[in-house]
Structures are given as structure tokens and as C-alpha cells.
Structure 1
Amino acid sequence: MTPPHRTRLTFHGPLSEARAADLVQRLTRHRPTTVLDIGCGAGELMLRVLATAPEATGTGIDLDADDLARGRKAAADRGLASRARFVEESATGTSRGPADLVLCVGSSQALGGRLPEALGELRRLVTDGGRVLLGEGFWQRTPTPDELSRMWPDAALTDHPGLATLIGMAIDAGFRPEWTETASLDEWEQFESGYLADTEVWLAEHPRHPLAEETRQRVDRHRARWLTYRGILGLAYLTLVPTA
């Protein structure tokens, strides 16, 4: 028996039901017929877009076979299997676009090593008059050297820009920001707690399991890291319109 993992998460990121509903309404206002989801995971947001835009078809790209399988099952369960494709492949240099709506939430690294290159790829992948939803990390404040040392391995100030710099990069890449919003502390706490909750309960119920010590160390490291970047690392949801 292995510890359960992520069963309490709807989205793999700090995204509430209310914000997701608002995003879907905004992103479908221009009636997209093609949707491309970069680093889609199980494709929850893409499936909600397809349910709201009945003329649209969607393609999700990811390298995680388990997440893709969950996405295919969810599409079938919702009657969307004929309009949703989940493809196991790299998004680097992808030829899947251009699409009327491109979703890239927490996945810009899949398009290149640096954010300016990823933004250039997003501009290439969206049709004129389309939309891009970019979910991207930013520093809410500058972390101290001690805080950086307690985040993810090799964390550096250059890992993320500030919010104003992020928006400036998007403009330089050929976009105008139609809408700017950022994940709330409540959304972050719901996500990070939901990410660990199943495993924490399993550890409490199986303290002497052969996998318990290894699992405990992994979970404790993750919690310590997110409690360090809590209130420091933000996530922006930018609705971007390509400049003609």
C-alpha cells in the first residue's frame, strides 16, 4: 500500500472554484473554437472551458501519463471525449498551435528555459484575436537570503520577477494585459493543505508502515518550504490579448 496523493485537489495550483468560474467566463467570451493547454495535467480548466464553449475542441499536452489518464477519464465522464485530446509529449517547439485560446498555468518552463522565450512561444501559439491565460509565479516581496535557502533546492532571486516586471515582459512579447489577478493567501493555503492532506492522514494512521519514515521526511520538507514562501511567492493569472 502506497500513501494516497493529491486526491483532494481539483486544480494543481492555488485556484478557487470562484476564480476558476470567472476565468472560464472571461476566456470563452470571444467564443474560441480551438483550445491548447500547455502542461495540462488532468486538464480540469480546459474541460471546463470546453463545457462552456460547445463549439470548441481542446488539446492538452503533458509528460505525466497518470495525469493525462485522469484527464481522459474526466472528459469521458463529462461527455467531452470527442472534443478533448490529451497528448503525452513535450511542449517545447510544439506544432499544436495556433489556437484561439492557450492555457499555460504554472507551466511556462515547458516552453523554454527562460520566461521571455516562453512568452514568445505563447505569442506564436495563439491566433490573432485570441487569448492566453498565463499563470506565472512572481515575488510579492524580495525574499531574504535565509528565506531563499529554505525554499526549493537552488532557489534564487532570478527564479521569478516582480509583478510589474512580469507584465512588462508580456507586453514586450506582443501582448496587452486584458485582466490581471493574483492568487489569494486562502487559495494558496487550500492548495498546499490539499496537496498534503491525504498523505498526512495516512501517516497518522500508519506510523509504523515501512514507507512511513521516507514519506514523513518528504512531507515535512514540502511543508517547511511552502511555509517559507507563504506570503512571498505569488501566482499571477494574466489574461493576455495578442497585439495585432
Structure 2
Amino acid sequence: MTETDLPPRLGSLTFHGPLSETRATRMIERLAASEPATVLDIGCGWGELLMRVLEAAPGATGVGLDINAEDLARGRVLAEERGLADRVEFVEESARGTTRGPVDAILCLGSSQALCDPELPHDPAAALRELRPLVRPGGRVVLGEGFWERTPTDEELAGMWPGAHSGDHLPLAGLVDLAIHAGFRPAWIETASREEWEEFESAYRHDTELWLAAHPDHPLAAETRDRVDRQRSAWLAGYRTVLGIAYLTLVPVG
């Protein structure tokens, strides 16, 4: 079996989350207006948003942290293709307890768990406390974090990820309060739309679904089909219309 026999991974995604081109552009424009010189992307994946920030802020340099070597390799290739290899570094390391700050701007979209104790339940308050000393006075943090659009029912929770419960997330107001208590002011509050969610969820599985249709008898087909079907079911029968993603642009106080 060769590498080309394997199902593709995330090739149809631009960003690793429910984020549209339009929202990303506005977010980057606001971030670039603060004229950051240094940018840190926590849980960067292949660093698409990080590289766009560097393109919008030509004097800036950036570091992307992630523990997925495949995503980081993809980011390095993209950086070479876009002439950014001398301005961005992709590093395979944990973000918890990182000493790579303080910096002028931080991206942490859907990755705050990287700042938390893996032995404990995910705690956005702890992640915000970790973020606060990593950003310089006058800097910006763009945080992408889950929240409950409404309280999930027991049936919806049963359809989500294993062990899902109502304490896994806060409502939006509670999440913003945590940011304020951690020493930030919320300069901009926005949330992913239904269309952004559907684009992300479909693109997340698109290439693999095509592969499964073309290779129904492949040795890895049954395993891959079970995984993809579980993922899709968790969305459609579980967190669709219930789980939201907030994009908070935060400014440190004092």
C-alpha cells in the first residue's frame, strides 16, 4: 500500500474551523491595524490565518505552534510558495507553559485546550489566564472558543462527542465575562454563522467521502467509513445549532 492509497486529510479546508473568507479578511484587517511586529499562533495547524496576518502586516514575523507534524509540514510548504519562509517559523511543540511571549498579537482559534492541563477538563478560564502574560500592552489576542448557543438537551448531548455534558461550554455572555476577569477588554465579539459551520463540516469530510465512494473495498475503507460516519452524526444529531464558535478580539488592560 502506498501513501497515495490512503484517504486524504483536510485538503478541502482553507481554515481549520468555521471561518469564512469574508470574516477572516475583516479580522485580519483589524489585527493588522494595530501594527504587530510579532505574532504567535497557538495550535496553528498549517498556519493559513497566521500567514495572512503576516501578508497584511509586512514588517511582522510569526511563530506557529502545533503538535501535528503533518499540518506543520503543509504550512512550511505554503510559506515557501508565498515568499514567507523567512518571516514565519512552524514549531512542533506544546503551547502549555510556552515562553514564546510576550508578543504583539496572538491567534488561538479553536486551540485553547493546548494551554490547559490535559489531565483536567477543558477550562477556558485557565487558557485566558495563560494568554494574558503572553501579549504585550496594546497588543491583541484573537480567541476562537466554543460556547453553547442554548442549553443542549440530553438527547443532543448523547449524540455529540463521548462524555459530552452541559458543563463542557459556557453561554456567550459567560465566556466574555471570563475574558474580562482574566484582564482583557473585548474589542470585538462575533460568532460563526450557520453557513460557516456547514461549509466547515462539509469540507472537513469532503475529500474522504469522495475517497470512500471510489474505494469501497479498500482495506482501510471500513475503518475510515466508521470514523467519518461518527463525525457526521455527532454534528447532525448532536451539536448542530447548539454549539457555537465565538471569535473574540481581546485587548489587555493596563
1:208 corresponds in structure 2 to: 217
Instruction: Quote the RMSD (CA, aligned, Å).
Output: 0.7
Measure the CA separation in 1 of the matches of 2:235 and 2:153. Answer: 15
* Partner in structure 2 of residue 115 of structure 1: 124
Give 3-state SS (helix, strand or coil) of 2:101's partner: coil
Shift of 1:147: 0.9
Within 5 A, what are the aligned runs for 1:50-69?
50-69=54-73
CA distance in 2, matches of 1:83, 1:199: 33
Deviation at 1:150, TM superposition (A): 1.1
Match of 1:159?
168
Deviation at 1:69, TM superposition (A): 0.6
The match for 1:42 is 46
Report the counterpart of residue 104 of structure 2 in structure 1: 100
Q: TM-score, normalised by structure 2?
A: 0.95
SS at match of 1:75: helix
SS at structure 2 position matched to 1:28: helix
Runs of 4 or more, structure 1, over 2 Å off, are none
Alignment of 1:70-81 (within 5 A): 70-81=74-85
SS at match of 2:16: coil
Using the size of structure 1 for normalisation, the TM-score is 0.99
Counterpart residue number, 2:158: 149
The one-character-per-residue Cα deviations of 1:128-178 (angstroms, maximum 9, x if unpaired) are 000000000000010011211110011111111100000000000000000
Q: Deviations over 1:157-202 (max 9, x none)?
A: 1111100000000000000000000000000000000011111111
Instruction: Determine the C-alpha separation between the residues in 2 that align with 1:216 and 1:94.
Output: 37
Q: What corresponds to 1:243 in structure 2?
A: 253
- Any unmatched runs of 5+ in structure 2? 118-122
| Distance in 1 (alpha carbons) for counterparts of 2:27 and 2:143 | 11
**Structure 1: where are the runs of 5+ without partners?**
none
Per-residue CA distance 1:8-31 (angstroms, 9 max, x = gap) = 000000000111100100011110
- The CA distance in 2 between the partners of 1:154 and 1:137, in whole Å, is 16
Q: Select between 170-179 and 151-160 the one with higher mean Cα deviation.
A: 151-160
Of all paired residues, the percent bearing the same amino acid is 63
- Indicate the larger mover: 205-214 or 160-169: 205-214
Task: Give the aligned length.
Answer: 244
**Structure 2 CA distance, aligned partners of 1:95 and 1:51?**
25
